[in-house]
Structures are given as structure tokens and as C-alpha cells.
Structure 1
Amino acid sequence: MRAPYSGRGKPSREELGMIIARIRGREYRFLTAPGVFSWRRIDPGTQLLAETMDLEGVHSVLDLGCGYGVLGIVAAKELGEGHVVMTDVNRRAIWLADENRRLNDVESITEVREGSLYDPVKDEEFDRIVSNPPIREGLDLVLRIVREAPNYLTEDGELWLVVRRKMGSKRILSEMRTVFESAEVAARGGGYWVLRALG
């Protein structure tokens, strides 16, 4: 999904950093390193989505383009049981997300898979797909995420995206309303919109 990191997956010890964050009333620790999105701090859009995504009654979550794993790990911690899959094309992100699921004690219900968009989850369905999509890779890529999402959602499943308000948010919301029965702006903050689509 995001451009693959040109170097090796595993960072050197000198490259590794640690982010400590409080999300939904819980403390999390995330290993980070250069070569992944927003490695110095949790991106404000990711933070907003992590705080607001509705996980009530959810048993399965796909974190699409997971980076170092914030959304998937928060979802797993909230669920306590079920199944969370985190995917990314960036090998360094995959390595970090795998380490972070262990660091935050959710390894029993999470897994990390390498691959582009929905390729790693062929023939699977989820109650929620959550993503901070790579808008800088182009609007068409984000619209593709929206169009293909129903193929990977359960009957009552929902797609949750966070986007910058000034970077195609209205076009993305319009596409969600075309593809799904309904879509809305579920939260706003810091120049970001959390978009929710269902049905």
C-alpha cells in the first residue's frame, strides 16, 4: 500500500525509537524507526481514528496499511478476543507491527501480513476495515480501497477511514456514499475527518 521501504526490514538497534501513548484510556508502547510513516510520533489522524472507531460487537478487524500497528493493536486490546489482521507492503512496518503486537500483549489474536491493499486477505471477511490510507500515493488508490471494501466486509461490516479534510475528503466521502448504503463524517479534529461507511 505505502511505497516499500528500500532497506531491510529489521532496523538496527540505533535506529529504533519508542513512542508511549495513551489511547482510549490505555497506555501503549510502540517501537518505531525511520522508513515508516510518522515514525517520530503517532500521526494525529491515526490517533483520531484510534480514539473514535466503533468496535462494539466486533469480532474481526482488518488494519489496512498498518504502519507500525497502532490501529490494529488498539482494536485488539479493545476486543480482548477475536481476530485482527494488520497488513502493509513496507517490510520495516511489518517487522515493527509484529514486534509491537507482542510488546502490547495482543499477539494471541493478531497477525501481520505483507502485501498490497487486499491481496493478503483474499477470500476473508471482517466486521471492520480501518485505515489511515496513503493519500499521498494518489486519490485513485484511496478510492480503490473504498470500492473493493465490500468484498471483504461481513454483512453488517463497516469501513472506517481517516483523511485530511483538504486532501480529497469530500470526494472520498462521496465515493463511500455511492458504494455503501450510507456514509458519514464520524469525527473531526486537527484538520482530519474520520469517515464511516456501512451497509
Structure 2
Amino acid sequence: MDPRSEVLLRQADLFQGSLLLTGLPADDLMSTLPNARGWSWHAGDFDTLGSRFPERVHFGTEAPTEHFEAAVLFLPKARDLADYLINALASRLAGRELFLVGEKRGGIEAAARQLSPFGRTRKLDSARHCQLWQVTVETPPPAVELDSLAKRFDIEVDGGTLKVVSLPGVFSHGRLDRGSALLLENIDRLPAGHLLDFGCGAGVLGAAVKRRYPETHVTMLDVDAFATASSRLTLAANGLEADVMTGNGIDAAPNDLDVILTNPPFHTGVHTDYAATENLLKKAREHLRKGGELRLVANSFLRYQPIIESHLGPCAIMAEGQGFRIYRAKRA
């Protein structure tokens, strides 16, 4: 069980009523809290929890509309996302309890200070390298619309200026990361047809391809609902159309693709996690047509080339710079 869940269960008597578990891990916690509901924006966690606890887990970027007597926020890594979630919960909890749980190295003590404007905060527990905090919301904040927290910036691509819209919690929020910038310089000679922007984030790559190659059928896929919401906003801001999917990794992708273009993630929360990318590399062949191409940017220290070659075929380094490499491989 996740250590944060273990800390909650040390105080289980506090959590027996109507409870919203926000950003909860995909573990066994809900089986011990029969009156709790979950709110998730991670498609993989939602699939796991939804199969075990049907009708008890809400998915999306907005809190469920049902009434709840208390809420627990499992602290996310991104500070801006934590700000949004704390507001979304506290604005609904006048006179009721908001709990915050997280790892010490994830910044739980600093995040707990954000609760003080709502009422007197208390640290209830510290164990498993985690802390649990509580506040009775005496002064609820006004609710803030998610779209109002978006960061907007422009980048120059072939075909003109591309407007990017980034929501809290999305990778490289409010700026173009170096890996994507290098990949954008190397999207020439892409095969025509159906392209997948895997791990689309704010939609920079997929939108840039659609701008440059209007006839390309672009699908954007991400595991995170905030990311796919950002991609839809980016497409709308540029008058572009593409398919946008929220799904659990490459297994959710269409088949018969001509291109998989990706700057894949390798972090989850405060921990390093390569699983989604390694699963992509192992299964890309199943989703590409014969002759279809994988084009990927990654940190130079990540040893992806042997994995690509063992599962897809010969892999070349197209370009490298500023600590990144672009790999290109075709399905034989």
C-alpha cells in the first residue's frame, strides 16, 4: 500500500464518513473506507480503481458535484496543480474538514502552510516519511475557474506562430522544454498519414505537425486529463483539429499508425518512473504499420536505443544537443 495511504489508516476513525479522496493512489485504500469516493485525473490509476470500485471514482479536471463532508488531498508534485486543487476543495468545504497528506521530500510542510488562510491547521501524524495535516475550513476561498489559471505562450514553427495553452500540472507548464524544442527542429520528412503525439502534454508537437502538414491525421494521447484538456485548448487557440485521447499509455493508442512522435515522460510524482516509456518502446511495433516510424527525443543519459532496436528495428540518432538525443527507427 502507498505510504500516504498507510498514514491515513493510522487515523482511520477520522475518515469513516462521506469523504472525497483527491489524487488517490491506485491501492487498496478505498476497500477500508466504504463511504469514500475518489477523484482521479490519471487514466491508469482511474482504470485500476474503477475496475475494483465501480461507480466510486470520478475522472477529470473538475471536482465531482456530489456533496462530501470532508476531503483528503494527496499532494501532487506540481505546486501550481496543488494550488488549484486546494482551492477547488476548500471552496466547497465551509465548516468542514480538509486534509492534506504527502511525502516530506515532496514538500508537504510548505504545502500545509497554504491551508492557514482557511482556518487553524494541525499536523495530525508523521510516519512512513509522510505527514498528515488538517484544517477546518472556516474561511472558504472563492472558487477559481481552471481555465483562468492557464499559461499562454507563443512559439515560432514552420507555418507561423503557434499559440500554446498550458494548464496547471502539465509538463513544462508555461514554457517550451528543451527536448520538445529540439524535436520541433527535426520534424521534416515525416511519413504522411496518421501520426500519434504520445504523451502530448500541452499539445505542442501535435499542433505543430498539424500546422506544418495539414493533411496529416493527428491523434494526441496522454495519461493525464489536465494534459489532454491543455491540448484541446492549444488546438482551439490555433484553429486546428485533431483527435485527443486520455488513456493509459500506448495500449490506449490506435493501431495502423504511420508515425509515433514523442517526448515521453519519465517522472511520476517525486519518483523516477520509466515504465510508460519502456512499454511504448516495447509495443510501438504493434501500433505502427509496416514501414511506420518512431521518432523520439530523450535525455542523452537514457539508454533507449538498445530497447528500440530489440523491439522495433535499427535505430539512428538524428540529432543531439543540450543533453538530448532524437532517435529514429522504422518498423521493418
TM-score (norm 2): 0.54
Structure 2 match to 1:182: 314
Q: Which runs of 5+ in 2 are unaligned?
A: 1-40, 44-58, 63-144
- Asked whether 1:95 is paired with 2:234, we answer no
Amino acid paired to 1:144: N
Question: In 2, distance between residues paired with 1:8 and 1:180?
Answer: 34
Q: Which has the larger radius of gyration?
A: 2
The 3-state SS of whatever aligns with 1:194 is strand
Residue 21 of structure 1 is aligned with which of 155, 166, 170? Answer: 155
1:20 CA displacement: 0.5
Provide the residue aligned with 2:42 in structure 1: 4
Q: TM-score, length-normalised on structure 1?
A: 0.87
Are the aligned partners of 1:46 and 1:132 in contact in 2 as well (CA < 8 Å)? yes
CA drift of 1:189 comes to: 1.4
**What one-letter code is carried by the residue in structure 2 that aligns with 1:195?**
Y
- The amino acid across from 2:233 in the alignment is E
Q: Where does residue 132 of structure 1 map in the other structure? A: 263
Kept in 2, the 8 Å contact 1:142–1:172? The answer is no
Could you say which residue in structure 2 is the equivalent of 1:71?
205
Matched residue, 1:112: 244
Aligned partners of 1:44, 1:153: CA distance in 2, in Å? 27
Q: Does the alignment pair 1:152 with 2:323?
A: no
The answer to whether the 8 A contact 1:59-1:79 is kept is: no
- The unaligned stretches of length 5 or more in structure 1 are none
Larger displacement relative to structure 2 (46-55 or 9-18)? 9-18
Q: Find the residue that maps to 1:155 and give its secondary structure.
A: strand
**SS of 1:102's equivalent?**
helix
1:105 to partner: Cα distance: 2.0
In the alignment, the residues of structure 2 paired with residue 176 and residue 92 of structure 1 have an alpha-carbon distance, to the nearest angstrom, of: 29
Q: Deviations over 1:44-98 (max 9, x none)?
A: 1011112202444411100111001011111111211131100111111111101
CA distance in 2, matches of 1:49, 1:118: 20
SS in 1 for 2:229: helix
Aligned residue in 1 for 2:216 = 82
Is this contact kept in 1: 2:296–2:328, CA < 8 A?
yes
By relative contact order (CA 8 Å, sep 6+), the higher-ranking structure is 1
Q: Which amino acid aligns with 1:160?
A: R
Instruction: Report whether the alignment pairs 1:172 with 2:210.
Output: no
Cα deviation for residue 24 of structure 1 reads 3.2
Pair 1:51 & 2:103 matched: no
Structure 1 pair 142–57 and aligned structure 2 pair: CA distance change class (3 A): closer
Tell me how far apart the structure 2 counterparts of residues 131 and 57 of structure 1 sit (CA, whole Å).
15
Preserved contact between residue 55 and residue 78 of structure 1 (Cα < 8 Å):
no
| 1:63–1:87 Cα contact (<8 Å) kept | yes
Rounded to whole Å, the distance in 2 between the matches of 1:198 and 1:39 is 31
Letter in 2 for 1:162: V
Give, in angstroms, the shift of residue 8 of structure 1.
5.4
Quote the RMSD (CA, aligned, Å). 2.2
1 CA distance for matches of 2:286 and 2:274?
20
- Is the partner of 1:67 in helix, strand or coil? coil
Q: Deviations over 1:29-58 (max 9, x none)?
A: 011122100012011101111220244441
